[in-house]
Amino acid sequence: MAETKYIFVTGGVTSSLGKGIIAASLAKLLQARGYKTTIQKLDPYINVDPGTLNPYEHGECYVTDDGAETDLDLGHYERFLNVNTSQANNVTTGRIYQSVIEKERRGEFLGKTVQVVPHITNEIKERIQILGKSGDYDIVITEIGGTVGDIESLPYIESVRQLLWELGDNNAIVIHLTLVPYLSAAGELKTKPTQHSVKTLMESGIKADILVCRTEHELADDIRAKLASFCNVKREAVIQSIDASTIYDVPNLMLQEGLDTVALQKLALPEISEPNLTQWNQFLNRHKNPKNTVTIGLVGKYVELQDSYKSILEAFIHAGAENEVKVKVESIHSEYIDEETIASKISHLDGILVAPGFGERGIEGKIATVQYAREYGIPFLGICLGMQMAVIEYARNVLGLKDANSTEMNKNTSAPVIDIMEEQKNITHLGGTMRLGAWDCELKDDSLAFKVYRNILISERHRHRYEFNNSYKEQLKNAGLIPTGFNPETGLVEIVEIPEHPWFMGVQYHPEYKSTVANPHPLFVAFVKAALDYKTK
Ligand code: GLN
């Protein structure tokens, strides 16, 4: 195909309508029809990337193979499409300004006054077109974060307006996602907020081509007709997006509503074939008809907010479907775990996952949890900080190094079993400076890890500053905590196991980022299986 086509997704009325899921679902349908599709997210905040954000702000920070710290929507894109994303797929206002200011300092603007229009908008347009110009995609879907009318979104909306004009009819379209609220007192669905939000978009010179209407109730024909006529879109371009029991239903719901067909018509692209969703629907079928249930405790300090551990929760959905079991994840706040409460909080669990995290808060609860799982033989998976806690627990309670700790928590510990990496010691900036992205890991062939991956060389994504301290390797190994995965270049320990235990693994990397519907992560699949075995024993 000649030129890449662009679909812009904007949102109106409120935030949190699920633009990311709609974008991912549309991409899934277009991909399932044979179009090479990718998605990009533009975030209007001034942080250069979400790496410095607390999970309470925007949920989990998702990490790509190329080490970009990105918005959690990119996780949905990868899970739905089974295609890797990269730094180019997530752009923030901070990054845009940083790049324009650097160009200004280099004198690239030749004495001109640097302004939002055209310099910032040009930079945005360039970033939008990077993926399209790579020649790898037929269609690029660009999701504009925030809500139209926000001050922060204006340069993005203006850039979309310019691009629509530059690219011309049939090469770029706008999908506007809005809310159609139900007023129970009146017993009615209301279209006015949508009309206003479409109007706001028009004030910026953009006419929506397709409306996707989030609703708790079916949109009757008269409501659809009203929305079409008052918002200037074709009747078939009013798409209902009704609340679904799982996000994985949304591609099918969008297919029924014809979102992909309308989008293709507007882009003057042929329908090539019916979307092939066979594998997707097999997954859905297994997900919805589990033969058994396991309860897994997710022990972390951000558990109040579901989005903090998004990729872990989704990886359990994929692994559950693969095992034909429902994984009930019980969120347990590590700060409230102590000697007195521990048994009541975790003894009933079939598996325990100690979550990634930063800083001191709640770590003693995590260490106590590891000890419990270890001593009672409950299947255990520690991820990143969770692996580090497993090492500290073993050093303290098995080796008897009572003061063992990570230097992240106690700089002066006499037993720094987890320590900052040499190359990290002189880093002063926090943004983008951790060990990030995909690193190779070599497995020992007699390990649980090898049984799980069935491969000697694996690659997994990282996001951390501290590491297993190799000066304690022999001591820990002789005491029964066995390192079984190593970075082949640096010799850093990436995995620890306890062969005496039914199923115990700590991994320094984040397997959750690589789990997709098409490729459930083997580690999560094996962990859920171990939990099922433990339960049925
Ligand atoms: N805080 C730990 C580190 O920086 C672990 C990070 C994580 O769990 N992602 O090494």
Give the tens place of pLDDT for each residue, 278-336.
999 999 999 999 999 999 999 998 888 888 999 999 999 999 999 999 999 999 999 99
CA angle 446/439/469 to nearest 5° reads 70
Rounded to an integer, the average pLDDT of 236-248 is 96
Q: Is the CB of 275 inside a 6 Å radius of any atom of ligand 1?
A: no
Atom of ligand 1 at shortest distance to CA of 418?
Answer: 10
Query: Is residue 58 scored above 90 in pLDDT?
Result: no
Question: CA-CA-CA-CA torsion for 243, 244, 248, 254, nearest 10 degrees?
Answer: -60
Would you state the pLDDT for residue 199? 96
Would you state the pLDDT for residue 1? 45
- Convert the pLDDT of each residue in 375-389 to its tens digit: 999 999 999 999 999
Whether 333 sits among the annotated catalytic residues: the reply is no
Would you state the pLDDT for residue 2? 54
Specify the DSSP class assigned to residue 307: G
Nearest CA to ligand 1 atom 8: 356
Would you state the pLDDT for residue 33? 96
- Convert the pLDDT of each residue in 25-36 to its tens digit: 999 999 999 999
Q: Is the CB of 366 inside a 6 Å radius of any atom of ligand 1?
A: no
- Convert the pLDDT of each residue in 184-227 to its tens digit: 999 999 999 999 999 999 999 999 999 999 999 999 999 999 99
Query: Is residue 49 scored above 90 in pLDDT?
Result: no
The answer to whether the CB of 140 falls within 8 A of the CB of 173 is: no
Would you state the pLDDT for residue 517? 97
Rounded to an integer, the average pLDDT of 89-103 is 96
Distance from residue 51's CA to the centre of ligand 1 (Å): 12
Would you state the pLDDT for residue 272? 86
Residue 397 structure tokens: 């309670």
- Convert the pLDDT of each residue in 456-501 to its tens digit: 999 999 999 999 999 999 999 999 999 999 999 999 999 999 999 9
Catalytic residue of the set 384, 408, 494, 497: 384
Would you state the pLDDT for residue 427? 75
Query: How much of the chain, in percent, has pLDDT values that exceed 70?
Result: 100
Whether 318 sits among the annotated catalytic residues: the reply is no
258: alpha, beta or left? (left if phi > 0; alpha if psi -120 to 50): left
Question: Which amino acid, residue 209?
Answer: D
Q: Per-residue DSSP letters for 21-61?
A: HHHHHHHHHHHHTT--EEEEEEE-SSSSSGGGS-HHHHSPP
Q: Give the mean pLDDT of the chain.
A: 95
For tokens 């951790």, what's the residue?
434
CA 265 to chain centre: 31
Main-chain phi, psi angles of 403, to 5 degrees: -90, 5
Terminal-residue alpha carbon distance, the chain:
57
Would you state the pLDDT for residue 521? 98
Catalytic residue of the set 58, 76, 287, 510: 510
